[in-house]
Chains A and B, each alone.
Chain A
Amino acid sequence: MPEQEFDALIEELRELGRAYAVPEAADQRQAVRRRLARPARRRPRARFYLSAIVAALVVAVAVISPARAAVVGAFRRIAGIELRQETARETLPATPSPIPSIRDADLAEARRVAPFPVTSPAVLGSPDRVLLADLDTTGAPRVVSLVYLGGTVRFDQFDGTLEPAFLKTAPNAEWVTLGDGAIWLPMPHPVTYVGRDGVARTETAHLAGPTLIWATGSVTYRLEGLTTLEDAMEVARSVR
């Protein structure tokens, strides 16, 4: 037995194990049950979206391919965000106006008034600003935005079960595995806000930097301003 020569060391290690006090474990029963009970319903929906997207792409390719090699005009959608995979034709307004009815708040207030669970990426610490946008008559925001790192990073979250809120036009996009589905847009791209009334506010169009979009449960997230997918994913994974 090679172990014999190490008997004393092994005994020390076992003793170390016994002496190593670990803080008490949290009771996971309820949390695990909650998590297991929830996403079972979500799955079919995510799959529905995926198949819808695949179908849309197939149709688009079938119609367009003979004329153009590139896939133009196909759109993708992640709950709450519709992505048009084309090169933007219209020029952006010179002075875009912000999303309607924005006001400043703090995280605690955002959590209180938003109709969905407001989260934040732990990695980025506390936000510089918290903005509530497109309030309804009761004051509940449709979009909550957290601004970090002196305004260079922006984290939007909104109820994705509503109709698309953002319209994005980008020629290149990459599918990413995160939440119920995610898209990475590495290049700056125009974004238009679609109001509650379903009207696209072109005056709100602005050029967004690299953006990661993903959906979990009913909430859709948009993280703008991190230059590499790896960094964006890192921040996204720390959202809680």
Chain B
Amino acid sequence: MARARAGDLDAYEILVERCTAPAHRAAVLLGAGADADDVVQEAFVKAYRQLGRYRGDAGFKAWLLAIVANETRNLVRSRRRRDGVLQRAGVRAGPEPHEPDPAETAVAGERRRFLLEKLRALDARDRDVLVCRYLLDLSEAETAMTLGLPRGTVKSRTARALGKLRDRMPVEEVPGA
């Protein structure tokens, strides 16, 4: 870490190697879809340039994920705008290249698919805390860092989001629980 901060690209490459998979997974789950690799690359480049600002509070990974989350948000926003541009320019937006989501087919089980659907239907703020806390298995501190929120907010929002999600799920029948 210290060597990377001093501008050692070999040292940084070790961090890149170690963090590519979790960063990519976070980007996909936060909504980057097929552009996740681009998001990750951009995040690594930005992270390196901002290493001077890294404080080490919640680890490099969480700090990188904050940049990934931010890039993903920008991407989602610009996708919406792009669709607008194309409509105004008289071009019909083609089908998104990443449909159907590979996870759609990979996630087995009716209930799990239903849960994913309901999770997606939450607003972004609620969805993101649940994705970070449970799907990505981040701690409260890491989630706070990733989403740029105070820890207290992560706590309260997680509880609220879980409540909303539960209300939308059918009564549970856990087979073999």
Contact = CB atoms under 8 A, between A and B. Distances in A.
A29 B14 CA distance: 9
A16 B41 contact: no
Contacts of A28: 16, 20, 37, 40-41, 44
Nearest to B163: A6
B85 interface: yes
Contact of B166 (A6, A21, A26, A27): A6
- Is the contact region of chain B dominated by helix, strand, or loop, or is it mixed? helix
A230 B78 CA distance: 10
A149 B29 CA distance: 35
Contacts of B103: 20-22
Contacts of A9: 162, 165-166, 169
B107 A36 contact: no
Given A26-B37, A231-B85, A16 B9 contact: no
Given A20-B135, A36-B48, A235-B85, A29 B17 contact: yes
Contacts of A235: 85
B17 A19 contact: no
Nearest to A19: B107
A226 B14 CA distance: 43
B6 to A, nearest CB: 14
B170 to A, nearest CB: 12
Interface string B116-141: 10010000000000100011110000
B57 interface: no
Interface string A20-45: 11110111110111011100000000
| Number of chain B interface residues as a range | 35 or more
A37 B9 CA distance: 8
Interface string B13-26: 10011001101110
Given A20-B29, A29-B17, A36-B9, A123 B86 contact: yes
Of the listed residues A27, A123, A231, A235, the one surrounded by the most CB atoms of chain B closer than 10 A to its CB is A123
A234 interface: yes
B13 A27 contact: no
Interface of B: 9, 12-13, 16-17, 20-21, 23-25, 28-29, 36-37, 40-41, 44-45, 48, 78, 81-82, 85-86, 88-91, 94, 102-103, 106-109, 111-112, 115-116, 119, 130, 134-137, 158-159, 162-163, 165-166, 169, 172, 174
Given A13-B115, A29-B17, 19 more contacts: A9-B165, A16-B107, A19-B109, A20-B106, A21-B103, A22-B25, A22-B29, A23-B36, A26-B40, A26-B41, A28-B16, A28-B44, A29-B20, A32-B41, A36-B48, A125-B91, A149-B89, A234-B81, A237-B78
21 contacts: A9-B166, A13-B134, A13-B135, A14-B137, A16-B119, A19-B109, A19-B112, A20-B106, A22-B36, A22-B102, A23-B28, A25-B36, A26-B24, A28-B20, A28-B37, A29-B13, A123-B82, A123-B86, A124-B91, A125-B91, A231-B85
Interface of A: 2-3, 6, 8-10, 12-17, 19-23, 25-29, 31-33, 35-37, 123-125, 149, 153, 226, 230-231, 234-235, 237-238
Q: Top 4 A-B pairs ranked by shortest CB distance?
A: A25-B24, A17-B135, A13-B134, A21-B106
